[in-house]
Amino acid sequence: MSNPDAERTFIAVKPDGVQRGLISNILSRFEQRGFKLVGIKLVTPTENLLKQHYAEHVEKSFFPKMLSYMMSGPILATVWEGKDVVKQGRAILGATNPLNSAPGTIRGDLAIDMGRNVVHGSDSVESAEREINLWFKKEELIDWKLNQLAWIYE
């Protein structure tokens, strides 16, 4: 990573966000905040990938429905880099339940139902690393210099 204070996070636009044409709106919120996009691809996830991604939920009663939903269409997988990006990314997304999300957040502005909450974001630095490695090969992540860094960070 070109910025020593930077960390990376995994943000996915779920099938409902892709189908509703919200990709550019979601990407622009991260770009406007000053985070750097280092990985992006449109994918149709496999059941195996989703079971690994949501390993902590596989045995829960809601998992089959969530699995079906997550396999219902393409997902935009992204990796963002910046200072405190995991925590800040979660703040940009809003609460998991859109009805508890503040206006101005992605879920607060663009979603109503928890089962169609538009986006996923890593909840910790450790989760981010695991999720990034699940969804991206190392060579798919681009380490590049954002020329605006001096205008974003002191």
Binding-site entries for ATP: 14, 62, 90, 96, 107, 117
- The HSE-up count of residue 55 (CA atoms within 13 Å, CB side) is 7
Please pick, among 29, 36, 53, 120, the residue that the annotation labels catalytic: 120
Cite the annotated binding site by residue number: 14, 62, 90, 96, 107, 117
Residue that has been written with the tokens 């405190």 in this structure = 84
DSSP string, 103-129: TTSHHHHH---GGG--EEE-SSHHHHH
Residue that has been written with the tokens 């992605």 in this structure = 106
Is 53 one of the catalytic residues?
no
If we measure between CA atoms, which residue out of 35, 7, 47 comes closest to residue 93? 35
Residues catalogued as catalytic: 120
